[in-house]
């Protein structure tokens, strides 16, 4: 069993990005600039955004954090997005999700200029990804594909089962897994997407060569649901109460790691698996945005 070390891969990539940024600066260009909007005080979102700001420092990027309280109006948020869209000093920005209920999340996502949408959530980027055109790939699916590539996990012709059909993980990762392989881009998997309405879900997972678990249900994938030699990417990061931790919680993946890992050819841990890769994919997109290589400036 090979434990896929997302933390190590992400640290390596951040160093690669930092070297490129120092070269850009030496060539007289300005540093890439990522802005993030955080609404409210959701614990998970606070952690993610703090990690994004830290990753910007490591990569040599400029970062700006814009905070609002929970009671912000949609109008104020849309106005802030419009300012960032028009600010030539900002290469890319994100609005951390989830947003408070009174704000229409889809309207917010669509208000972001797709050329600055480094999360890859705008329908133009989602659509371009689905048909294999250059775009900002959404960060978690891109991070998953990077891990599969760096660890040389076989995909071509393999049975890949995606658990979960969210817009930010399940659907986009399914399209990436099934894309035609090209130099530097692996795909060619046979993909099945299972979700909350799937009947006899274990019939699918037991036949899977690769499982991408993105349900947000701690410990859902059990040892009797997988075959020997399966490769598993665990996207789950649910906070579960844990009185032994200072924080009062621990992060739990969607896989019953202790019992499933011995059957695997490859598996990602939680934490230090997909999470750090999501953040590094955002850094990669921001660098691409600064360089204007996907959408010219």
Q: Is the distance from CB of 67 to CB of 98 less than 8 angstroms?
A: no
Cα–Cα distance, 81 to 278 (Å, whole number): 22
The pair of structure tokens assigned to 38 is 């955080």
96 in contact with ligand GUN (CB under 6 A): yes
24, two tokens: 């850009």
129 is known as an active-site residue: no
Nearer to ligand GUN, 119 or 209 (CB): 119
Q: Is 260 in the site for ligand GUN (CB under 6 A)?
A: no
Q: Is 84 in the site for ligand GUN (CB under 6 A)?
A: no
Which entry of 5, 14, 91, 96 is annotated as an active-site residue?
A: 96
Q: Please provide the DSSP assignment of 104-171 as one string.
A: -HHHHHHHS-GGGBTT--SHHHHHHHHTT-S----HHHHHHHHHHHHTT---TT-EEEEE---TTTHH
Instruction: Give the list of residues 6+ apart from residue 118 with CB closer than 8 angstroms, or none.
Output: 34, 91, 92, 93, 94, 136, 139, 282, 285, 286, 289
Where does residue 118 rank: exposed (0-12), middle (13-18), buried (19+ CB within 10 A)? buried
Which region among 92-100, 154-162, 217-225, 240-248 touches ligand GUN (by CB under 6 A)?
Answer: 92-100
- Min dist CB 138 to ligand GUN, Å, is 7
User: Is 291 one of the annotated active-site residues of the chain?
Assistant: no
Question: Which residue lies nearer to ligand GUN by CB, 3 or 97?
Answer: 97
For 280: left if phi > 0, alpha if psi spans -120 to 50, otherwise beta; the answer is alpha
Nearer to ligand GUN, 74 or 188 (CB): 74
Tokens of 13: 């990539």
Identify the bridge partners of residue 160 per DSSP, sorted by sequence position: 191, 210
Residue 262 CB, nearest distance to ligand GUN (Å)? 30
Which residue is closest to ligand GUN by CB?
97
| Least gap, CB of 216 to ligand GUN (angstroms) | 10
Region from 94-102, 152-160, 205-213, 262-270 binding ligand GUN, contact rule CB under 6 A: 94-102
Which of 179, 252, 278, 286 is close enough to bind ligand GUN by CB under 6 A? 278
Q: Is 97 in the site for ligand GUN (CB under 6 A)?
A: yes
Please confirm whether the linkage preceding 45 is cis (ω < 30° from 0): no
94 forms part of the interface with ligand GUN (CB under 6 A): yes
Tokens of 269: 């841990």
Residues 6+ apart with CB under 8 A from 83: none
Contact flag: residue 65 with ligand GUN (CB under 6 A): no
For residue 123, the minimal CB distance to ligand GUN (Å) is: 15
In the complex with ligand GUN, the residue whose CB is nearer, 173 or 225, is: 173
CB of 115 to ligand GUN, least distance (A): 17
* 139 forms part of the interface with ligand GUN (CB under 6 A): yes
Please identify which of the residues 5, 91, 117, 119 carries the catalytic annotation.
119
Tell me if 119 contacts ligand GUN by CB under 6 A: yes
Residues found near ligand GUN in the complex (CB under 6 A):
94-97, 119, 139-140, 278
Residues catalogued as catalytic: 52, 96, 119
């Amino acid at each position: 069993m090979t434990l896929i070390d997302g933390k190590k891969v992400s640290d390596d990539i951040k160093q690669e990005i930092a070297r490129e940024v120092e070269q850009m600066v030496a060539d007289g260009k300005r540093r890439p600039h990522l802005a993030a909007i955080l609404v409210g005080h959701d614990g998970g979102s606070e952690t993610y955004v703090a990690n994004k700001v830290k990753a910007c420092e490591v990569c040599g990027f400029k970062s700006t954090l814009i905070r609002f309280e929970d009671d912000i109006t949609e109008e104020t948020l849309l106005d802030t997005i419009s300012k960032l869209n028009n600010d030539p000093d900002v290469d890319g920005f994100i609005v951390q999700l989830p947003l408070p209920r009174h704000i229409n999340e889809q309207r917010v996502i669509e208000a972001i200029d797709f050329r600055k949408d480094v999360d890859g959530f705008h329908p133009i980027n989602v659509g371009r990804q689905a048909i294999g055109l250059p775009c900002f790939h959404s960060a978690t699916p891109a991070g998953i594909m990077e891990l599969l590539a760096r660890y040389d996990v076989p995909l071509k012709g393999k049975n890949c089962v995606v658990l979960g059909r969210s817009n930010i993980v399940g659907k986009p990762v399914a399209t990436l897994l099934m894309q035609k392989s090209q130099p530097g881009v692996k795909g060619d998997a046979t993909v099945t997407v299972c979700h909350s309405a799937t009947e006899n879900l274990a019939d699918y997972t037991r036949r899977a060569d690769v499982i991408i678990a993105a349900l947000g249900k701690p410990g859902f994938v059990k040892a009797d649901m997988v075959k020997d030699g399966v490769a598993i990417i665990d996207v789950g990061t649910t906070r579960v109460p844990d009185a032994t931790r200072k924080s009062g919680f621990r992060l739990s993946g969607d896989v019953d790691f202790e019992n499933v890992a011995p059957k695997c050819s490859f598996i990602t841990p939680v934490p230090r698996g997909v999470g750090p890769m999501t953040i590094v994919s955002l850094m990669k997109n921001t660098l691409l945005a600064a360089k204007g290589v996907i959408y010219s400036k």
